[in-house]
Amino acid sequence: MPAPPAVAWTLPWQQVTVGTPGPEFEARPSGQYAYDFPDTKCDSWSTSALRLHFTSVRGAEHRHYRQPRQDAARAAVHEATGNIVCAAMLGSGGMR
């Protein structure tokens, strides 16, 4: 069987900007209040029918201004029926 063709990557991974670009800065190690606003939240679990993974990541602008992530997710299984309930909450961002 012939080997698959090689993929030539000529450009490095580029950051994708959506909307108005935020401030550009170099991320630094967390300081005194590192545990007030974690950058990521991950969870993962399995049932006999599925495996669930989800992650919430704080964006660069929130990190720069030391603001918390503005989204969250939860999931639960009803063990008697195997039904799964998922909820995702997105922050209001600039809404007033």
Which comes out higher in pLDDT, residue 93 or 39? 39
pLDDT tens string 18-75: 888 777 777 666 666 655 677 788 888 888 888 888 888 888 788 878 788 888 888 8
Decide: 88 and 71 in contact? Cβ < 8 Å: yes
Decide: 30 and 40 in contact? Cβ < 8 Å: no
Give residue 4's pLDDT band: very low, low, confident or very high (50, 70, 90): low
pLDDT above 60 for 95: no
- How confident is the model at residue 52, as a pLDDT? 87
- How confident is the model at residue 64, as a pLDDT? 78
